[in-house]
Structure 1
């Protein structure tokens, strides 16, 4: 496998209800190799922010851009963006606006959003925020495989309601250069063969995958939250993906 001569800055962005804390166990393994990894809490997911329920996808994308700038990311030193689950929407916006600043994007049980995609178009406009659902309901939407009762308890205790505007806002994409950014998909709750088949069939959740110019897939069988169920293996997958030469 070809590798870069130095480790690119890697920015870790977790999905709905989660903040930077969700990556703690993965970071233990990444930073053991002196890897420069920066976990983020997106706007709207900071429980100390009294205005968090009004935050939008644009706010989240701007925060990612600011983190990249503060880390010294530039065209000569592009970043690796790691997006888990619902973080795919703001990261898709960043890819559309600044493809030249991204060495590689790593989707963790996720993938790029199609132009105009909306996470939850049926969410009422009056809904200010969406709390973490009961686990029996959540488990019908995303696999909880590998999560112990202790992990689920921590998830429940630390989860922050997702802002309504984030769930309702269309992802406006106009720059086809985003499709040329080197991409790795870490497939957890859906095997890579099934994901690629769905992409070729034009499934709305995966249709954009079929348009990617540089795609690698890594199978990491587990549930939808591999940062807790298989943190060491996820860290290794991120390390491997980020080290690849585009």
Structure 2
């Protein structure tokens, strides 16, 4: 049985996976969410270490799932360890030499959640109550994580089975971005599957059962 390692994106706690975790367990799979270091002095290396510790805790190579910006953390795990596969949800792995979250506002301090107005289209399937509950549980993003430089070195990662779950964009959109050279790491992947999920950017909240099933399919 393939273990599943779940990695949440920016500002989220591991508890955001609760419903997905329970559904995966119901489907007969073993899942765990990574408790990423988010204290003020945390670095990208600290978060990578936490992910690798979760991978190493599995008896067999696990399926590593990364949401949004954490697609890069999942990809870094595939670069550093043997994994059964990688699932990316609404995000794409950064390339070697890029900042982990270089799209965030520049500065020296940690970065708070930018607010729902910056994600209005992405959050169209989240009602006001869901948004308020999510925001109440969000954490501040350490600057040392956001500005951390991605380092990739093992070309074997390109042969790892990869599933890109496309929520707020379509598989056709993703294919166009890949073909257009916007996603160089995905362009080199030899076992890439694009899967549609009709949701917003946070399907673990809006459609946990459907998301869990897609993850289970990738594990199967």
TM range (shorter): over 0.9
Query: Structure 2 unaligned runs (5+)?
Result: none
Question: How far 1:78 moved relative to its partner?
Answer: 0.9
Asked whether 1:220 is paired with 2:204, we answer no
Query: Structure 1 unaligned runs (5+)?
Result: 1-6, 45-51
Partner residue, 1:80? 63
- Partner Cα separation in structure 1 for residue 103 and residue 123 of structure 2: 24
- Partner deviation per Cα, 1:108-155 (whole Å, 9 max, x = no partner): 11122222122216744522x11112211233xx60021121110111
- Partner Cα separation in structure 1 for residue 148 and residue 128 of structure 2: 34
Partner residue, 1:3? none
- Partner Cα separation in structure 2 for residue 122 and residue 109 of structure 1: 17
Gap change, CA 1:61 and 1:38, over 3 Å in 2 = same
Out of 79, 89, 104, the position equivalent to 1:108 is: 89
Q: Contact 1:108 / 1:185 at 8 angstroms: preserved in 2?
A: yes
- Partner Cα separation in structure 2 for residue 92 and residue 241 of structure 1: 16
- Partner deviation per Cα, 1:128-187 (whole Å, 9 max, x = no partner): x11112211233xx6002112111011111000111111111201111111111100000
Out of 93, 104, 117, the position equivalent to 1:136 is: 117
Partner residue, 1:53? 40
Question: How far 1:19 moved relative to its partner?
Answer: 1.5
- Partner Cα separation in structure 1 for residue 104 and residue 173 of structure 2: 27
Partner residue, 1:239? 216
Cα RMSD (Å) of the superposition? Answer: 1.5
Partner residue, 2:58? 71
- Partner Cα separation in structure 1 for residue 212 and residue 76 of structure 2: 25
- Partner Cα separation in structure 1 for residue 217 and residue 67 of structure 2: 17
Question: How far 1:16 moved relative to its partner?
Answer: 0.4
Partner residue, 1:16? 10
3-state SS of the aligned residue for 2:84?
strand
Partner residue, 1:126? 108
3-state SS of the aligned residue for 1:162?
coil
What is the TM-score normalised by the length of structure 2? 0.94
Moved over 4 A (4+): none
Q: How many equivalent residue pairs?
A: 219
Paired residues for 1:129-168 under 5 Å? 129-139=110-120, 143-168=122-147
Q: Contact 2:35 / 2:50 at 8 angstroms: preserved in 1?
A: no
